[in-house]
Structure 1
């Protein structure tokens, strides 16, 4: 005899529905894309639970890279040149994510001008951008654009498109490292509200990110040494920002996670460039 579901009671989800729900929550959280409510979702716009949905972040990152990758490829088809293609691609990612990670990088950079943890956290909450933040934002955008333009002169368009997808997935996975390995720096911040992911779940997500990077890299005929460097350098960037946050704030914030994502993306792109002949 089947169990009766009372009105208002949550309907149990199977494994595939749970994975799809977590993926939808990830895309909603990390982007401005209009993701419709899934048929079985009770509250499509509830605050996501990071301890559960972390496993789908590499896949969500891959999805977020689709529009920037398509824009890059279309720009090349229109013969707009590598620099304009790179600028349009990075702009597409900024629009897709609402500059979520760039904002975190700028706030983190601005906090470097303060001498106490309390003042650093106060600066990171300030919506205004300072000279450190503006400089970091400009340099990060310039490095991403220049790296993509340089890659397009050494790889075919399909390989660069694959690289955009790989870095979108790897960098967002690396951006989780401060959230996983450090306690929240504040009791009332977003990182406290969404919950701290378990390390086991993070390593599962990291495994998915590695598989996606290797499969896409092999299919795009990227050099294996380049794939390895992308994996290693994105991970080391996440670790470096984690260590920085521990000394700088005594914990992590969402802004630190955004800064880690930006650092990981730039490191992965430059890592691939170093093994490609000029």
Structure 2
């Protein structure tokens, strides 16, 4: 029951699904469930993608199909992570390191935040449109690994604010849990690769997602000296976008 309540809390925090659980929910440590929710979101948008492909399986429809797929993911999360990526871009655009957190906390979107959002969405749509095989597998895996990158950053790096929307994520979270999730995601990819007789692709997919999820968290930490709730969202969005681009090149 405790795990189910935590999962419900994670669904409420990370998505806009119309849930109405009974009682008070504890949001501490819900980041542990973020990769699972990512896999569910990736699977949901992949189902839409598959359905649209059956409805109109023509090459000229692939870009609109990919756009609608990506937009559904944005709808499910309510733009939670994209908003963080936009705020992070605005903060990094400031040359004075002392003002970056102040700019990131500003609810007004600046030019760099808008450009970051456009770049992320364009990369996702055009990269997905360039991928013809295993789209369901790829979307579910990337969306899960992107949130593992967020989970690792929460555990590995300091939180830059005394309080904030991401501070409570570090509570009730342990290093072994982070790596257990990574192992489970790796095993899942390898098992799917075995079923589809695409073991080499499974290894490549895992390496790309793991590498980018790790690097994005490390890069933002190097730029800012730690993380905030906004950079957690930025890790998710940029890992998704760049992973799709890397897979498209394969």
Q: TM-score, normalised by structure 2?
A: 0.89
Q: 98, 104, 108: which one pairs with 1:124?
A: 104
- Give a deviation string over 1:225-248, Cα, whole Å, max 9, x none: 332232222222233233323332
Structure 1 residue 143 displacement after superposition: 0.8
Runs of 4+ that moved beyond 6 A: none
Partner of 2:126: 146
Partner of 1:179: 154
Q: Does 1:195 align with 2:175?
A: no
Partner of 2:222: 247
Q: Does 1:233 align with 2:197?
A: no
Partner of 1:23: 7
Structure exhibiting the larger radius of gyration computed from Cα positions = 1
**What does residue range 1-278 of structure 1 map to in structure 2 within 5 Å?**
17-37=1-21, 42-44=23-25, 46=26, 48-50=27-29, 53-79=30-56, 81-152=61-132, 155=133, 159-196=134-171, 197-219=173-195, 221=196, 223-275=198-250
CA distance in 1, matches of 2:241, 2:204: 12
CA distance in 2, matches of 1:113, 1:230: 32
CA distance in 2, matches of 1:126, 1:195: 23
Partner of 1:4: none
Name whichever structure is richer in helix by fraction: 2
Gap change, CA 1:234 and 1:164, over 3 Å in 2: same
Select the structure with the greater relative contact order (CA < 8 A; seq sep ≥ 6): 2
Superposition RMSD in Å: 2.0
Q: TM-score, normalised by structure 1?
A: 0.81
The aligned length equals 246
Structure 1 residue 36 displacement after superposition: 3.9
Structure 1 residue 179 displacement after superposition: 1.1
Structure 2 gaps, min length 5: none
